[in-house]
Amino acid sequence: METETGSTPSHEVDSNVVESSSRVREKVDPAWKHFSLGADEKGRNTFTCLYCRQTYKGRGINRMKRHLARIKGDIGLCKKVSHDVRYQMVEYLKEFELKKKAEKQRQEEMFSVPSTNSDIQEDEDVQEVFSSGLPKKSVLGKRKGRGPVDNYFAPRTTLGAQPGLKSVFQSKENVRQADMAIARWMYDNCISFNAVNSVYYQRMIDATAAVGPGYKGPSYHAVRVPLLRDQKKEVQLLVDSQRRHWAEVGCTLMADGWTDTRRRSLINFLVYCPRIMVFVKSVDASDIVKSTQNLFKLFDEVVTWVGPKNIVHMVTDNASNYVSAGKLLCEKYKTISWSPCAAHCLNLVLQDMGNMPYVDNLQKRASKVTVFIYNHMALVAWLRNRPGWTDIVRPGATRFATTFLSFGSIHCISMTCKP
């Protein structure tokens, strides 16, 4: 993977003001969606292009824009960028250059005050006062009174200026309308309220605000095909960046088997290390779980992808075919240990306890009590007003845990209803 280094071009940063504004812009710049931010072995930032997969040591997002815009200079040209993205980057760079020129012109106007005869006479008078020991700020303060005032004071619309009363009410109304638009969209599409707790929620709003008025959201096709493909590339780069942590501290490979509503046997593979847990892939193993050898080949394939030297432990279900496949894997890789899933073992224990005659008879009696209570609405309404009420039927993490949760609920209700 190619990495380029070099000195910062003089035309990228013009002044301290432009530097500070550039740092703020980088956090919400639309160009970030075309790159993946990483770090090299020395902790310095690196940028990976999602189109050509080239990695560069970054010194600013504008340099990466020139990479996508295919502008020759201090960075290589992207040969796989689409025409619309290239055109967008060119427009961003043109807008940035115009802002730099405007900022430079504003600073020149700020420090170049037109002089008149009275100003010259005044300068001579003030120069005499200078010799008496007054600070030089008096000169600027005196001349500022005769010069154009707008050159020295920021307008009310700039960031940090004190807003007027009218603009305060307008800002509050605009914020309220924006909040209502977001809330209305969530209500209309039945989006969970927990979605606002996502780490990407505020990032989405910041990115939209950075584009400005007139922004049109992505279409159905864009979200479904190209954007999903780009997001998959970013996630893949994130997973690949974790490999060095697996090599440093080791990791645990977990195979979580489950059955979906279509009765398919699926296995989710996850890699756990102290830094982060990463989802690797999901496999439809409906025809694989029946054979120990096929399961072993599947596990071996995932172990090879993660790296046998990086894995120190593997966890699977406690079914007999999984146990046999785990033992075969340990025989091939002497550095990997295998153990069954503790949650699956507890679930099997609860299953065996439920098959005991005494517990089975108790389950039938509890089922009759539950049906009687829920068939009488007046009784249910009365129980719900009692302190400490909980629903009798509470789905647990597993099918067999639900039975014992119901036992506990019935016991609590019987204790509260005693005189």
Q: What is the mean pLDDT of residues 14-33?
A: 54
Find the angle CA(366)-CA(367)-CA(371) to the nearest 5 degrees.
120
C-alpha span between 387 and 413 (Å, rounded)? 10
Q: Three-state DSSP class for 78?
A: coil
* Residue 46, beta-bridge partner list: 38, 57
The DSSP result for 35-52, as a single string, is EEEEE-TTS-EEEEETTT
Give the tokens for residue 294.
Answer: 């096929």
User: What is the C-alpha R_g of the chain?
Assistant: 34
In terms of Cβ atoms closer than 10 Å to its own Cβ (0-12, 13-18, 19+), residue 18 is middle
Q: Is residue 25 very low, low, confident or very high in pLDDT (cuts 50, 70, 90)?
A: very low
279 in the Ramachandran plot: left (φ > 0), alpha (ψ -120 to 50) or beta? beta
Contact 354, 366 (CB under 8 A): no
The winner for highest mean pLDDT among 93-97, 109-113, 206-210 is 206-210
In terms of Cβ atoms closer than 10 Å to its own Cβ (0-12, 13-18, 19+), residue 75 is buried
140-163 pLDDT, tens per residue? 444 444 444 443 334 444 444 455
One-letter amino acid at 368 equals K
Element (H, E) at 305: helix 292-306
Q: Hunting for tokens 């989710």 — which residue is that? A: 268
One-letter amino acid at 170 equals Q
* pTM of the complete model: 0.50
Q: Three-state DSSP class for 133?
A: coil
Scored b (16 or more CB within 10 A) or e, 21-31 reads ebeebeeebbb
Give CATH for domain 242-340: 3.30.420.60
Average pLDDT of the chain, as a whole number: 78
Q: Hunting for tokens 């790159």 — which residue is that? A: 35
The winner for highest mean pLDDT among 16-30, 43-57, 305-319, 366-380 is 305-319
- CA distances in angstroms from 280 to 265, 277, 292, 353, listed in the order given: 17, 10, 22, 35
